[in-house]
Structure 1
Amino acid sequence: MRKKDCFYLGKIAKKFSFKGEVLAYLDTDEPYLYENLESVFVERNKDLVPFFIERSSIHKNDFLRIKFEDIDSEEEADQVMGCAIYLPLSLLPKLEGNKFYFHEIVGFKAVDERLGEIGIMQGVNDSNAQPLFEILNGEKQILVPMVDEFLVKVDRENKQIILKTPPGLVDLYLED
């Protein structure tokens, strides 16, 4: 499985028992959706390796307590500590309306109600406190705060993000 065909679910954070159980931190608002997985892909040496799950349960809201097949001791659990876990994109629940996955809008046209088409969505930068839409307009990168007030519509059919930005925000980038 290729990483680009998967989404990041979380990270194996700590050992749970001497029998090889681990706790995986789940980077999701709805961890219970992933409580009954049969398998996950574990990133080891930059490759995604399938790991089959004997049993799992939610632990303290954000963690998934996992017993993998063939990991039966603390020493074996040590080998997956800190590893990221992934699932195929096909397992993501479908979102509707203005809810979207960051990877889903890459390549969409960014259209401002006032300015018209302003570029192509390159992604979302969520490394700061305020996530930003990254829009490419020729050689220029336009950054627009990802706030509900600016997002009018996610038009999946026409592959567009319709925005209503305040005067001056995008205009600043478009000036030569």
Structure 2
Amino acid sequence: MNWFNVGKIVNTHGIKGEVRVISKTDFPEERYSPGSLLYLFLPKSKEPIKLIVKSHRTHKNFDLLTFENYSNISDVEMWKEGILKVSEEQLNELSEGEYYFYEIIGCTVVTVDDEEIGIVKEILTPGANDVWVVKHKDGKEFLIPYIDDVVINISTEDQRIIINPIEGLLE
């Protein structure tokens, strides 16, 4: 089964079982809404702990969560450094033209002339648009902006992306 990070528990908050989370999800309203199912992976444990969100609020740059059946600081203190995840079955259906990072990473990038550029190894999110780090088989890396002028077609089924490189992009 594939698991996807939604947040990391960095501390407790107060004495009533609330935990402080650094969020890693684009969908905090859904992931942290009361009744939502999350799985907690602890560093020294093989099996995840199944958790149901009881409450959610934000405080400074953190998401504060409580979980059903865990209402005391001593219940949750050992969860520090734990990672909250969802299973692949819990992922949202995205709009057309939107992709999860795991669908893009690993895809082969080729030009409109069928010249292979390399494999997407990483996705950077510096600002207005994402930037894909594409590694050629000779080890050279290219930074491909995810913009309509450059990315022509994405086929996650074929793990293939067609680009129309703008001048200077592949130098």
Short-chain TM bin: 0.7 to 0.9
Contact 1:9 1:87 in 2 (8 A): yes
4+ runs deviating over 4 angstroms: none
Amino acid corresponding to residue 36 of structure 2 in structure 1: L
CA spacing shift, 1:37–1:150, aligned 2, 3 Å: same
Give TM-score, length-normalised by structure 2.
0.76
SS at match of 1:45: coil
How far apart are the structure 2 equivalents of 1:58 and 1:152?
Answer: 40
Gaps of 5+ in 2: none
Counterpart in 1 of 2:65? 65
Contact 1:42 1:51 in 2 (8 A): no
Counterpart in 1 of 2:5? 8
Contact 2:39 2:85 in 1 (8 A): yes
Amino acid corresponding to residue 21 of structure 1 in structure 2: E
Give CA deviations for 1:2-44 in whole Å, capped at 9, x if unaligned: xxx1111011133233121223232223211111313323232
Counterpart in 1 of 2:37? 38
How far apart are the structure 2 equivalents of 1:48 and 1:101?
Answer: 25
CA spacing shift, 1:89–1:67, aligned 2, 3 Å: same
How far apart are the structure 2 equivalents of 1:49 and 1:27?
Answer: 18
CA spacing shift, 1:54–1:142, aligned 2, 3 Å: closer
Counterpart in 2 of 1:146? 145
Counterpart in 1 of 2:108? 109
How far apart are the structure 2 equivalents of 1:96 and 1:161?
Answer: 18
CA RMSD of aligned residues (A): 2.9
Matched, 1:21 2:18: yes
Instruction: Tell me the percent identity.
Output: 20
Amino acid corresponding to residue 153 of structure 2 in structure 1: K
Give TM-score, length-normalised by structure 1.
0.74
Gaps of 5+ in 1: none
State the number of aligned residues.
Answer: 165
How far apart are the structure 2 equivalents of 1:10 and 1:48?
Answer: 17
